[in-house]
Amino acid sequence: QVQLVESGGGLVQPGDSLRLSCAASGRSFSRDTTAWFRQTPGKEREFVAAIRWSDNHPYYATSVKGRFTISRDRSKSTMNLQMNSLKPEDTANYYCAATSRTLILSSMGLMGEYERWGQGTQVTVSS
C-alpha cells in the first residue's frame, strides 16, 4: 500500500516561491497519476495540478497555470510542485493524491479519481 508524505510548506510573502514535495513509500510510482489539491477552512478541496507518470503529461488549474510547475522524479518516486509568484489566495493546506491508473486529461482534476491521500502541508502567503 502506497503512503504519501508531503513536505515543503511554510510561511512566505506575496511574490515569493515555494517548492512542495510528495514522497511515496511502500511502492514506487509507475503508471500512476498523481496530483496536488488544496483546501482552506470552510471550503471544498480544489484541484491544483496533476501529472501522469506514464508520459509526464501535466495538467493545471486555471488559477495556477503559468505560476506553478508540477514535476516527477522517478528515481526518488517523488512528485514536486514549484510554486512561483505566490499570492495570498494561494494560502491553503496542500494535499498530495495518487491513483495507480493512467487518467485521461478530463479526469485528472477530479478528486474522486484518487484513492490515496497524504496528510497535507500548510502553505501561508502573507505580508
Q: How far is it, in rounded angstroms, from Cα 11 to Cα 59?
A: 26
Q: Is 112 exposed, middle or buried (0-12, 13-18, 19+ CB in 10 A)?
A: exposed
Q: What are the DSSP calls for 69-92, one per residue?
A: EEEEETTTTEEEEEE-S--GGG-E
Residue 82: strand pairing partners = 19, 69
Q: What is the pLDDT along the chain (127 residues), one digit of tens a residue?
A: 779 999 999 999 999 999 999 999 888 888 899 999 999 999 999 999 999 999 999 999 999 999 999 999 999 999 999 999 999 999 999 999 999 999 999 999 999 999 999 999 999 999 9
Distances (CA, A) of 51 to 30, 88, 107: 12, 25, 11
Number of Cα atoms under 13 Å in the Cβ half of residue 76: 11
